[in-house]
Amino acid sequence: MAAGNLTVNSKWATIECDDAVHTLTVEGVNGALTNIGTQKVFLSMNSDGALHRDGLQHDGELELDFGDTVPVPAEGVRIRHQCLSGGTTKLWYTPKAG
């Protein structure tokens, strides 16, 4: 599967990331994103503008290294994701159980 925009809900999902900005939309349940690849991935909950991807502090943006996990809220949340130039990685989305 090529990297692209994706909508997730109550099912597990693998999200491929590359050096282009793509949007992940979470609908229905909250869960978590885990970086399972070897490259850093940058996430942003800001709706517009470029991702900084510099590892510094920016409102609404964070960096996930290999093995890092971050919880995500439910109901229509849009998360933009992008790797560094030339990079690719994968995220796992796991919905909250119970």
Tell me, yes or no, if the pTM score tops 0.85.
yes
Predicted confidence band of residue 31 (pLDDT cuts 50, 70, 90): very high
- Domains delineated in the chain: 6-56+66-95 (2.60.120)
Mean pLDDT of 1-5: 77
Cα dist from 2 to 31, 88, 98, whole Å: 23, 10, 31
69-72/31-35 β-pairing:
antiparallel
